[in-house]
Amino acid sequence: MILLADEPQTEKIAVAPAAKVFPVDLALAGVWLAAALLSLYLPVLNETPIGPFLALPGILVLPGYCFIAALFPRDGDIDLAERIALSVGLSLALVPLIALFLNFTPFGIRLDPVLAAVTIVAVAMILVAWYRRSLLPVEKQFVFPFGEIGRSLQDAVFPKGGGRFDRPVQLVLTAAFILAILIMVSMIAVPRDGERFTEFFILGEKRTADYPDRINVGQTYPLFVGVGNHEQQDADYTIETWMVRREYDNATNTSRLIAMDPGDRLAFTLAHNETFVIPYNLSVQRPTYNRVEFLLFKDRPPGADIAGDDRIRMSYRNVNLWIRHEEVN
């Protein structure tokens, strides 16, 4: 469509994106994000180093790059080296902020919501960048110079006019940066044996840390109990809940177990990297209880003859809630 000089500005803005070709760099960013998500969730690819290889740039570079592309759509606003550096720095700032925002939502800070939010923000910035570029004349739009990446990085690492010691120092710093990236990728792609662990957590009714701290006897309070298996193999788990009364001894500066009565019990098996979150209704039947213990046992739990503090110490993981009873008039 050819726009006449006397056409209204609003009409020009409305039809500008349809008249322009989608930028190659923004299209590649969208394709990379889609490939990273598929590599993390497809059953075959998520067990290979392909997932971390694709996901790492998707976290460290692409969100910031898309944001910078939206801020600076014009060619010459900033040079390529600055654009790349700002992309990395802005990504490192954006992702934690997104995770912090999710902490105040029912989704919480978990892998799936964080990836979804980062992807939504990146895709939104891709569309904004495309729209802003389409409003500019073709010759003024930023076009990613793929053939100049090497030269731009060389100029950034080895600037012209430096002293005799600048080149060796820059070379060492560059090598250290590349080595750090390679170590990070290898640690994500091939976890060490020492990194085997199990997550055990409880969440409130909104799947955040909104636990009840004042309760009424006999009233039900919905919670969520979660277990995440990162043991590099399938694992058998058992969750036990115990109603506990403890008293604090000021003389010895310690707490003493007075009573510990069994509650619910659930056994299940999780595959590696599988997370199990179940709803749990907390109900305290006696006002003498002041604490709820959630014990997680891996493999076979101890027998009934192990009780009290000994059972708590033998648990693989444990979390607890202190309880204060609501005064009833």
| 301, 312 contact by CB (below 8 A) | no
Distance CA 131, CA 72 (A): 12
- Residue 2's pLDDT is 41
Distance CA 224, CA 280 (A): 5
- The neighbour count for residue 70, using CB atoms within 10 Å, is 19
CATH architecture for residues 196-325: Sandwich (2.60)
- Residue 162's pLDDT is 55
Residues in the chain: 329
Q: Exposed, middle or buried by CB within 10 Å (0-12, 13-18, 19+), for 259?
A: middle
Distance CA 9, CA 149 (A): 37
- Residue 259's pLDDT is 92
- Residue 130's pLDDT is 93
- Residue 145's pLDDT is 80
- Residue 7's pLDDT is 47
Ranges of each domain in the chain? 9-157, 196-325
> For the segment 252-289, what is each residue's pLDDT rounded down to a tens digit?
888 889 999 999 999 999 998 899 999 999 888 888 89
Distance CA 75, CA 72 (A): 8
What parts of the chain have a pLDDT lower than 70? 1-20, 44-49, 51-52, 147-194, 326-329
- Residue 296's pLDDT is 96
Tokens representing 62 are 């692409």
- Residue 102's pLDDT is 82
